[in-house]
Amino acid sequence: ADTLVAAVHRLISHADGARKLGVRTNADTGEDASRARRFGAEGIGLCRTEHMFLGDRRELVERLILADTEQEQEQALAALLPLQRGDFVEIFEAMDGQPVTVRLIDPPLHEFLPPLEELAVRVALAQERGQDPGRDKTLLAAVHRMHEQNPMLGLRGVRLGLVIPGLFDMQVRAIAEAAVERIKAGGDPKAEIMVPLVGAVQELETVRQEAEAVLKDVAERSGVDVPALIGTMIEVPRAALTAGQIAEAAEFFSFGTNDLTQMGWGFSRDDVEGAFFGRYLEQGIFGVSPFETIDADGIGRMVKIAVAEGRAARPDLKIGVCGEHGGDPESVHFFHHAGLDYVSCSPFRVPVARLEAGRAAGDASAADSR
Ligand code: PEP
Ligand code: MG
């Protein structure tokens, strides 16, 4: 077994010598980041921040959602700030010296509230017993108010950041303050702040200006220069098609191929296999799900357009991919040929991504020399 492991290591090191693509990881905790580093990840390409609002922090998020006044909203955000700062300190520490792309909160806010049915039952039971349903009633009203038929196409990502004042600012402040803390402790944090679900440059520009003001404020207060890039996910088809405009406001792009596939095909990523795609596969209409391997003809075409337009507008634009496709062998080859700078995948897929990135580069040089 030892010789096999040694052989695999040799193969991967060989691939590392050849590959043009960087390989990062998707990680949301210091623990995941450390594990991925051991697998050879060269940074974090996607740190999803939404789990940081679950568990015992749910109550603070509920307070934020239910706030009637600006003051209540500010209090909830102020309580979340030190918790978020702690999250980022841990992650920067685990990925010291390597880039860490932190994505601002993405999913619909109502996901942080209890489900409608559960609340409705609790309220009905309390009323039947002649008790006051109290807070549950307020929560139920909020869930009703926020209900959407298609939440994945609704109030999430940048839209949420623009509608709930202070939410993104709080996260940016937490990132910046965590970076300052690490720098003061002798660390080397490399923060990249990523805005999700952008469809138009105006959305990104608004968030970018606010984020820059927060970064400046933290730098002035701490006396420490906070190095941070600001960029965007490209995961809404319109963003891919207007990438030239969007690049004016972005220092980097990261393709969210999960959403790009969902919106490009009009398939719900959560229902597709159960609903009908499983049968497509059974009938052999398709050999593989487009959520697994990038659909080069369609979704991939949007990727190529965005790379070309983005680089034409900003030649030094850094471009990566952080959807599930970033760890799929065939898709890694596609991203190599599309000229991306890096792929980002789950920690366990990092070795395979390194290997395939090396093979893709090797294939390309073999093809060039023919
Ligand atoms: C994506 O859409 O590809 C992505 C990486 O973001 P998420 O899966 O969190 O929507
Ligand atoms: Mg997405």
Query: Rg of the chain over CA atoms, in angstroms?
Result: 22
Element (H, E) at 230: strand 228-234
Rounded to the nearest angstrom, the distance between the alpha carbon of 9 and the centre of ligand 2 is: 33
Angle of CA points 9, 14, 18, to nearest 5°: 145
Could you tell me how many residues make up the chain? Answer: 370
**Atom 4 of ligand 1: nearest residue by CA position:** 256
State which ligand 1 atom lies nearest to the alpha carbon of 256: 3
Cα gap 176→225, rounded to integer Å: 10
Tell whether residue 256 is among the known ligand binding residues: yes
Within 8 A by CB and 6+ apart from 157, the residues are 104, 106, 195, 196, 197, 198, 233
Residue 370 binned pLDDT confidence (cut-offs 50, 70, 90): very low
**Top-confidence residue, 269 or 90:** 90
pLDDT tens, position by position, 301-331: 999 999 999 999 999 999 999 999 999 999 9
Residue 108 Cβ inside 6 Å of ligand 1? The answer reads no
pLDDT tens, position by position, 217-264: 999 999 999 989 999 999 999 999 999 999 999 999 999 999 999 999
Indicate the range of 93-102, 108-117, 196-205, 285-294 predicted with least confidence: 108-117
Within 8 A by CB and 6+ apart from 330, the residues are 293, 294
What are the start-end ranges of the H helices in the chain?
2-18, 30-38, 58-66, 70-94, 116-128, 135-146, 158-163, 167-184, 201-222, 237-241, 243-246, 257-265, 272, 278-283, 299-313, 329-337, 350-369
User: Contacts for 47-52 with beta carbons within 8 Å, 24 or more apart?
Assistant: 47/91, 47/100, 47/101, 47/102, 47/103, 48/103, 48/106, 49/84, 49/87, 49/102, 49/103, 49/104, 49/105, 49/106, 49/171, 50/105, 50/106, 50/107, 50/111, 52/28, 52/83, 52/84, 52/87
Task: Give the largest CA-CA distance in the chain.
Answer: 83
pLDDT at 173 over 80: yes
pLDDT tens, position by position, 54-68: 888 988 998 998 888
Q: How far is CA 331 from the centre of its chain?
A: 18
Cβ–Cβ < 8 Å for 32, 351: no
Position 21 scores a pLDDT of: 98
Position 270 scores a pLDDT of: 83
Residue 152 Cβ inside 6 Å of ligand 1? The answer reads no
Residue 366 binned pLDDT confidence (cut-offs 50, 70, 90): low
pLDDT at 369 over 60: no
The ligand whose atoms approach the alpha carbon of 343 most closely is 1
Q: Which residue bears the tokens 């609903």?
A: 275
Burial class (CB in 10 A: 0-12, 13-18, 19+), 274: exposed
Share of the chain above pLDDT 70, in %: 98
Position 111 scores a pLDDT of: 84
**Top-confidence residue, 48 or 139:** 48
Closest C-alpha to 53, from 32, 89, 28: 28
Of the residues 322, 338, 350, 360, only one is catalytic, namely 322
Cβ–Cβ < 8 Å for 242, 200: yes
Rounded to the nearest angstrom, the distance between the alpha carbon of 323 and the centre of ligand 1 is: 5
Burial 70-84 (b: 16+ CB within 10 A, else e): eeebeebbeebbeeb
Rounded to the nearest angstrom, the distance between the alpha carbon of 236 and the centre of ligand 2 is: 9
Residue 109 binned pLDDT confidence (cut-offs 50, 70, 90): confident
Q: DSSP secondary-structure letter at 285?
A: S
Q: Is 322 a catalytic residue?
A: yes
Tell whether residue 159 is among the known ligand binding residues: no
Q: DSSP secondary-structure letter at 297?
A: T
Q: DSSP secondary-structure letter at 157?
A: T
Rounded to the nearest angstrom, the distance between the alpha carbon of 254 and the centre of ligand 1 is: 10
